[in-house]
Chain A
Amino acid sequence: MGLFDKLFGRTKEPTPSTSEVARERLTLMLVHDRLKLTPDLLERIKEELLAVISKYVEIEESGVDVELTHTEHSDKLVARMPVRRQRIHFERNVLEPGMGIPLVAASALAQIHQPPASAAATVPAVPAPQKMEQSSPPAEQADVVAPAGALSRDVHRQGADAAPAVETPAVPDAGAASAATPTKG
């Protein structure tokens, strides 16, 4: 705002001139034009990036976003990939009547019956509803049906810390199958 304007009492707000608007828009247009980045191409980049990163880290697919961002000094292709929060999974087994009770209940009981070492033995053989089985999508869990027999999950560990982090793998997860190996220690 020049002296001239001040003298005549014009208090203009610093709105950008139309040529400045034009220049901004033009710069952005040219960034896109030059990259030849069609929405199609962007989608393919997103899919391929997801495939690669997923080999190393579990990604929450629904939250993946790839876009071209623009600041005054640089243009960036930014990919955002939310990492799925790690949950401890236990190998799923076919429970036979009399073998045991659902995981959560067992954990609660273990807390009550302090001694950890023989947790497996102290678990009362209460025939319990097979809660764990029902909620999982059979397709994904197909390869995890263990031979009938002893529970192979690490009940010792469960009894020892009784951490509330233990959750039933009732939440259908794409990565559940691969993460079903018991986490020891």
Chain B
Amino acid sequence: MDSRVLTITSGKGGVGKTTTAANLSTALALMGRHVVAVDGDIGLRNLDAVMGLESRILYDLVDVVEGQCQLNQALIKDKRLPELYLLPAAQTRDKNAVSSLQMEQLCHQLRGQFEFVVIDCPAGIEQGFRNAIVGADEVIIVTNPEMSSVRDADRIIGLIEAAGKPEPLLMINRLRPDMIRRGDMMDVADVLEVLNIGLIGLVPEDEAVIIATNKGEPVVMDPKSRAGAAFASAARRVLGEDVPLEELDAPQNLLDRLRRLISPGARATGKRA
């Protein structure tokens, strides 16, 4: 079994790393792959909450690394999906509790048991970030079409390259087609031109994401959610499937459609180059 360790990072906080990690893991499990989601955010854990597994934590990643327990004691099996597991982070320690070497060894151990190891990287560029990428085979960078997060993503790309990892793939999250149409948000082409890496997914801003977190059910399990559908497509691309990028720009009314027909200056959104 050729296992893959996938790290979800961003640099900037709040762009959707944890949501992406939870949903990609869930989507892969829904497609029958044996997956473990690993929360790398020691001290500020959230992957457990987004996945709805917070009440079942007994041991965590730090306990495993320190030898307080066996790996299997810390792994939480998702009751809804037989193929999905979670290795939660500690809440009362910080990111210096684990060294890069220990993290690398942990990844090696997890590779032996799982097809996919999806690591939720914390925000920042310090030890937490270094730990999350040390064992990675592939890296996905999550960004928003907004200056600060793109700037941070650029820095992260540089650090990933410096760490000798292969070229990361980009996930653009929280897109708002209405703002893009008005010219008040950078579009996909702008972001790709600046960052210049391959694209793995486009996810629109969607209230359903917050509602999903409220319920502890990753949004990819909501058939009506456009964000959920986008995460599902991204997971299929991770598996090598050639899924066309979603057309995010769905005109809402006749006036919009008419305006776009007559004003050729309107910019295309979400279209693959």
Show the binding face of A for B, using Cβ within 8 Å: 1-5, 17-20, 22-23, 25-27, 29-30, 33-34
Contacts and interface: CB of A to CB of B under 8 A. Distances in A.
Nearest to B158: A34
A2 B265 CA distance: 7
A29 B155 CA distance: 11
Contacts of A2: 259, 262-266
Contact of B183 (A1, A3, A20, A30): A20
Interface stretch (B67-75, B118-126, B186-194): B186-194
A22 B154 CA distance: 15
A19 B147 contact: no
A17 B151 contact: no
Contacts of B155: 33
A26 B147 contact: yes
Contacts of B259: 2, 4
Nearest to B146: A22
Interface string B30-72: 0000000000000000000000000000000000000000000
B194 A30 contact: yes
A53 to B, nearest CB: 32
In the A-B complex, list the 7 residue pairs whose CB atoms are closest, starting with the nearest. A2-B263, A17-B183, A4-B262, A3-B262, A19-B186, A2-B262, A23-B190
Given A19-B184, A26-B147, A26-B151, 18 more contacts: A1-B263, A1-B265, A2-B259, A4-B263, A5-B263, A19-B180, A19-B185, A19-B190, A20-B183, A22-B146, A23-B194, A25-B147, A26-B186, A26-B194, A30-B151, A30-B154, A30-B194, A34-B158
B150 interface: yes
B254 interface: no
B258 interface: yes
Nearest to B190: A23
A3 B265 CA distance: 11
Q: What DSSP secondary structure best describes chain B's contact surface?
A: helix
15 contacts: A1-B263, A2-B266, A3-B263, A4-B258, A17-B182, A18-B184, A22-B146, A23-B194, A25-B147, A26-B151, A26-B194, A27-B194, A33-B154, A33-B155, A34-B158
- Contact-size category for B: 20 to 34
Interface in B237-273: 258-259, 262-266
A30 B259 CA distance: 35
Contacts of A20: 183
A73 to B, nearest CB: 13
Residue from A1, A17, A26 whose CB has the most chain B CB atoms within 10 Å: A26
Nearest to A20: B183
Contacts of B151: 26, 29-30, 33
A25 B194 CA distance: 11
A26 B262 CA distance: 31
B186 A22 contact: yes
Contacts of B187: 19
B50 to A, nearest CB: 29
B270 to A, nearest CB: 14
A99 B180 CA distance: 86
A132 to B, nearest CB: 60
Most B C-beta atoms less than 10 A away, residue of A19, A20, A25:
A19
A20 B184 CA distance: 8
Nearest to B148: A26
Nearest to A2: B263
Contacts of B147: 22, 25-26, 29
A33 B187 CA distance: 22
Contacts of A1: 263, 265
